[in-house]
């Protein structure tokens, strides 16, 4: 488990070792939805696409 910095509030977000690129996580500190990616082999998080609205029940 790696602790990766939240790009919004800089709190540490726990990312499991088996995380897939494109996987989405939630920062437990600020609630931001974050997308996991690798940069030069290092785990990183960026702000995920905004949550979309879907009609229906």
Partner 1 sequence: MDVADVLLELLRVYSPSGSESNLEPVMRRLRQELGYDELTIDSAGNYLFSRGSGDRVILLAGHVDTIPGEIEAVRRGDVIRGRGAVDAKGPFAAMLFAGSKARIGQGYKLVVGGLVDEEGEGSGAKELLESGFKADHIVIGEPTGTTGVAISYRGSLTFTIYATARGGHSSAPYMGESALERLLDAINTLRSIFNGRSYDEPTSAVTMISAGDWPTKLPERAEAVVNVRFPPSVETRSVIERIETVCSLYNCSFSIRDVTEPFETSLSQPVPRALIRAILKTGKRPRVVKKTGSSDMNVLWKLTRSIAACGPGNSLLAHTNEEEVSVDDLRTACSVYIGAVEELQSMGRRAT
Cβ proximity to partner 1, 10 vs 21, nearer residue:
21
Listed residue (50, 48, 52) closest to 23, CA to CA:
48
Site string for partner 1, 5-44 (x = CB under 8 A): ---------------xxxxxxx-x----x-----------
Burial label, 23 (beta-carbon count in 10 A; 0-12, 13-18, 19+): middle
User: Using CA atoms, how far apart are residues 39 and 31, in angstroms rounded to an integer?
Assistant: 23
**How many binding residues for partner 1 (CB under 8 A)?**
18
> Rule CB under 8 A: which residues touch partner 1?
20-26, 28, 33, 48-49, 51-57
């Amino acid at each position: 488990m790696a602790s990766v910095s939240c790009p919004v509030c800089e709190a540490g977000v726990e990312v499991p070792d088996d995380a897939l690129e494109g996987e989405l996580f939630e920062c437990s500190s600020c609630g931001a939805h974050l997308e996991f990616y690798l940069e030069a082999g290092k785990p990183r998080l960026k702000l995920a696409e905004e949550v979309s609205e879907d009609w229906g029940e």
